[in-house]
Amino acid sequence: MQRREFLKLMSAAVAAGMLPVTARAGQARGRVVIVGGGYAGATAAKYLRLWGGEKLEIILIEERRNFISCPLSNLVLGGSKKIDELTFSRNGLDHYGIQRMEYTVAGINPDDRTVFLTRARTSYGAPFGYDRLIVAPGIDFVWDKYPLLLDAVGRPSDPRSAADQSTFPGVPIQSASTPRGVLEQQLPHAWKAGEQTVNLRRQLEAMADGGTFVMTVPKMPYRCPPGPYERASQVAFYFSKHKPKSKVIVLDENPDIVSKKALFLRAWEELYPGMVDYRPNNVVTEIREYSGRSGFLVKTEFEDLSADVLNVIPPQCAGVVTHPFAQDLRNGRWYDVDFLTYESKVAPNVHIIGDAVSSALPKSAHMASSQAKVAAAAIVALLSDQPPDPQPVFANTCYSFVSDKLAMHVANVYRYDTQKKIMLPAEGGGVSDHASEQEGDYARWWAKNIWSDVLT
């Protein structure tokens, strides 16, 4: 077939209404404001420019100066990476003509399409208008599931129990903002990479040989399904090299290892025999600080455990950057979106991408960047008066390290199902046969390539 005939066929198909015509680059006009500069938000900013052309105004609002990668951050706990190696500026996005603002979003008004910004508790002038808003807030933690944590660090959750700290008050904390500070210092979740990760590493370094590291895994869904098991592997790697008499106990609220199960079990058995004690269906019911010594008493429905270092990975919800607007957006813990555009189901012109989205898709960095690209393409189409792609397809690859060098993957293609209106995994996806050094190399290059794609 010649090019001419091919085009004729295409034109006929379009004329017959068989095919939507998508936008030409450079036609999109308007202002897109992006809240959140992680994997999802930064990717959206860059690809809006690549696909939307020069006329689009793109503004990226992120309160934190640096981008710190969660992928590979478990290696900081294992000791084979430093957090600085995972820390980047977003300057590499500047040459795309993306305006970056280090502000906090204090509120969003979808009715008149404005956002309110603050910095150091000072509001930023007038509300800020947009044509399309992208919200990429990542995750936040549901602290009220862990009222005992507050008790453990000497912050009574209920004033009535303040007189008697020896008993658990048993009153759920309603406020999501109470426990920061002291709690995060003594019991770092380390589930957002950065200071928390370094803190947990220091605690592991300070622990004596023969000690016990206890970690918890929240019920799905949470950020990075294989992440907790990778963390257990990394701590075991560190112990095997430096503290071989120590133990890792994993208290999993889920009925089984959530991701790459056979691969993790095999790695623990072969690399760290007798060191990783995995316990499914284990819900922590109480945590208490010891008096006169470091560490915590951890109670489950089954037994009492003594933890020299304790890492509670709390239950998670969509990041709350947009309070009080977020309360309207959220369906339970995550945001409901249309998977063709990632537009909110309740707030028109607001698109939500990344870990904050309610879906069965794994909450991974690669997934966040793919969602960002679908949303960017859809917004470019919508701002050019064109229909968005009716059936997006994208891939996800997620690596986990079980030592400093050995890694394994799970990989899938996902295709929009026009009946169910969600992204479904295609046939053919799956996991590695076994962890290998070759995949360790691929995993490190995956990181460098995705950092390049997202940040430069």
Partner 1 sequence: MRWRICAAAWLLCGTSMSPVLADEGAADTSHLRVLAASCAACHGTNGNSVGGTPVLAGLMPAYFVAQMQAFRSGKRDSTVMHHHAQGLTEAEIALLADYFSRQPRVTMHAPVPESN
Looking at residues 326 to 365 of the shown chain, list those that interact with partner 1 (rule: CB under 8 A).
365
Chain length of the chain: 456
Residues 72-101, mask of contacts with partner 1 (x by CB under 8 A): ----------x-xxxxxx--x---------
Is 429 a binding residue for partner 1 by CB under 8 A? The answer is yes
Contact call for residue 284 and partner 1 (CB under 8 A) = no
Q: Within positions 395 to 424, which residues make up the interface with partner 1, using CB under 8 A?
A: 395-397, 409, 411-413
Q: Which of 141, 212, 215 is nearest to 176 (CA)?
A: 141
**In contact, 136 and 40? CB cutoff 8 Å:** yes
> What is the rounded CA–CA span in Å between residue 148 and residue 156?
9
Site for partner 1 in 295-314 (CB under 8 A): none
Number of amino acids touching partner 1 (CB under 8 A): 76
Nearest to 98 by CA among 29, 31, 26: 31
Q: Which helix (H) or strand (E) holds 232?
A: helix 227-242
Intra-chain end-to-end CA distance of the chain, in Å: 39
> Can you say how many angstroms the Cα of residue 216 is from the centroid of all Cα atoms in its chain?
17
The pair of structure tokens assigned to 319 is 């990041």
Based on the shown chain and the rule CB under 8 A, indicate whether residue 205 belongs to the binding site for partner 1.
no
Please identify, using beta-carbon distances, which residue of 314 and 388 lies nearer to partner 1: 388
CA–CA distance, 302 with 252 (Å, rounded to integer): 13
Are 248 and 213 spatial neighbours (Cβ–Cβ below 8 Å)? yes
Scanning 141-149, 168-176, 351-359, 389-397 for contacts with partner 1 by CB under 8 A, the matching segment is 389-397
Our finding on whether 441 is near partner 1 (CB under 8 A) is yes
Is 448 a binding residue for partner 1 by CB under 8 A? The answer is yes
Nearest approach in angstroms of CB 36 to partner 1 is 18
Q: Which is nearer to partner 1, 185 or 449 (CB)?
A: 449
Greatest Cα-to-Cα distance within the chain, rounded to the nearest angstrom: 86
> Are 213 and 235 a contacting pair, CB within 8 Å?
yes
Site for partner 1 in 12-71 (CB under 8 A): 13-14, 18-24, 47, 51, 66
DSSP letter (8 states) at residue 24: P
278 binds partner 1, rule: CB under 8 A: no
- For residues 201 and 311, is the Cβ–Cβ distance under 8 A? no
- Contacting residue, 113, 201, 260, 373, with partner 1 by CB under 8 A: 373
| Binds partner 1 by CB under 8 A, chosen from 274, 324, 332, 428 | 428
Count of beta carbons in the 10 Å neighbourhood of residue 376: 28
Q: Which stretch binds partner 1 (CB under 8 A): 241-249, 278-286, 346-354, 388-396?
A: 388-396
Examine residue 280 and tell whether it contacts partner 1 (CB under 8 A). no
Part of the chain binding partner 1 (CB under 8 A), chosen from 6-14, 130-138, 146-154, 268-276 = 6-14
Q: Are 427 and 52 in contact (CB under 8 A)?
A: no
Q: Report, in Å, the least distance between residue 94 CB and partner 1.
A: 12
